[in-house]
Amino acid sequence: MNIKQASKQSGVAAPNIRFYEKEGLLNPARLPGNDYRDYTEQDVRTLRFIRMLRMLDVPLPVIRSVLAGDAPLGNVLREQQTALEQRAKQLEGAARFCAELARQDPSAASLDVDACLSRMENPAQPQTFFSGWVQDYRTLAQVQHQKHFFFIPQGSINTPQEFTAALQAYAEERGMQLGLTKEGMYPEFSLDGIPYKAYRNPGKYRDEICCDAVHPEQLNTGLPSRRERQLRGLRVLLPAACTFAAILTAGWMATGGTDWLWLAALAAAGVLLGRCFENRL
């Protein structure tokens, strides 16, 4: 078969086939008389084999060694697995750094390029299992806070001007940039470039201001989906576990026994139900 037919059957483009021949990975027969290449079924299988290994990012010199019988395929695949796992860790770190920068939403002019390069060229020491989970948990909590947060202003909120003043005070206390786009009792504004809508939640003694991100789907953690699901579950369970441990410890110290076990369990269940209800809203 000619190169066009070999390309169609193998899924390898004709220029790549010629390149692989030049690199010594393939040596098709030549037709007598015109010296045209004559590819066989075995050549097509070799091309598919090369294509498979290239999809696994195996370097061409290694593929050449495998085809020549100098390198066992099993050893090559194990070594490539290790290399890919190391690269995946590097890419995961790069993805997290990209997500961190994206949340800050810097401009090309304001970005501290030297600080970014310093962090990228001199990464911190490898993290322990526990510290990695703690950092990821903080990242998740930060993003969740960006999607929805509330605060209690200094005084009551009865006018749009008082609402605006409360938002300005909140931003100033935290060194954040406030941009008001719509004043009122349901104002629209931005904090450090993230757009929000706010409303007042009147309380018996003090008002509460609740703020919701306009586009929460654009705020992401940059974490692997499995890790994020695990951390979301942990974020629901952790307050209940802490409540249970605190009440049980207090009961043990007060009575020297487990008399408060049921109280601790009921309190923890109440906190757990509250967090589940909060996540449903």
What are the sequence ranges of the domains in the chain?
A: 3-71, 140-218, 225-280
Secondary structure element (H or E) that encloses residue 39, with its range = none
Q: Tally Cβ neighbours within 10 Å of residue 275.
A: 16
130 contacts 167 by C-beta, under 8 angstroms: no
Say what the pTM is: 0.47
156 contacts 162 by C-beta, under 8 angstroms: yes
pLDDT of residue 277: 44
pLDDT of residue 249: 67
Local mean pLDDT, 10-residue blocks, the chain (281 residues): 91 92 88 80 93 92 92 93 88 80 76 80 56 72 87 89 93 90 94 91 84 88 76 72 66 59 60 50 39
Strand, coil or helix: what is 240? helix
Q: Look up residue 162 and give its amino acid.
A: E
Strand, coil or helix: what is 180? strand
pLDDT of residue 154: 86
Fold (CATH) for 3-71: Multidrug-efflux Transporter Regulator; Chain: A; Domain 2 (1.10.1660)
